[in-house]
Amino acid sequence: MARARRSQRTQEERSTETRRKLVDAAIGVSQESGYANLTITKVAQYAGLSNGAMQHHFATRDDLVLAMLDALYPILDIPFAEIASRKLSVKDRVSTFVDLLWQIYSRPEYLVVWDIAFGTRSDPHLRAKLQAYQRDIAARALKHLAASFADLNLTAEGSEQIFQLIISCLRGMALQTVFGVERRRADLEQVKEITCERLVNSAKINKRAGLRASGSSE
């Protein structure tokens, strides 16, 4: 019985490893040849595997593309709860989250996300899947981020504005590398300063609003 369980775990490990190889290969093909040239055959060859192995793990090209996004944009892997439990200052929390997000956006592979986004314009079915995927990831990340700054009593609108500010800035910085613009640490620090300032100001506004509401209720 123990031997059978061990065999099952080994098979699962092998399956996970094969899947990872195929996703890495798909990212490699996209980096070298562009998303337009991403085919099942090319990915299988790049990974040194058969087309059968490819189709076993990814029944459709759409499934492969969504798996690529999971690997390229692992924002939900950020330990939001663990960071919140440290009771850091607002400034330190912002700095930590921005640094962790930049680790995702600053990777050369991240530009494949843009290639996919532009490459799916003529494929409305896949584009709809990607948009749904993005909305889900953004909503879940926003929920975690808002919880991490719960002490500031941000409104839902305020939380989303802060989230979009960070994401938009980092995406823009990542995309600039296509045009040969260097990534500067000073730019990242400026994103942190602006975000921190916005958070603190929002907290003050919310506190004043709360006091006024409390006074009027009395």
Q: What is the pLDDT of residue 23?
A: 97
Topology of domain 2-60 in CATH is: Arc Repressor Mutant, subunit A (1.10.10)
Reading the chain (218 residues) residue by residue, the pLDDT tens digits are 455 555 566 888 888 999 999 999 999 999 999 999 999 999 999 999 999 999 999 989 999 999 999 999 999 999 999 998 999 999 999 999 999 999 999 999 999 999 999 999 999 999 999 999 999 999 999 999 999 999 888 888 888 999 999 999 999 999 988 888 887 889 999 999 999 999 988 888 777 776 666 665 44
Distance CA 183, CA 115 (A): 20
- Tell which CATH architecture fits domain 73-217: Orthogonal Bundle (1.10)
Q: What is the pLDDT of residue 218?
A: 45
Domain-wise residue ranges, the chain = 2-60, 73-217
The pTM assigned to this predicted structure is: 0.85
Q: What is the pLDDT of residue 8?
A: 61
Q: What is the pLDDT of residue 9?
A: 65
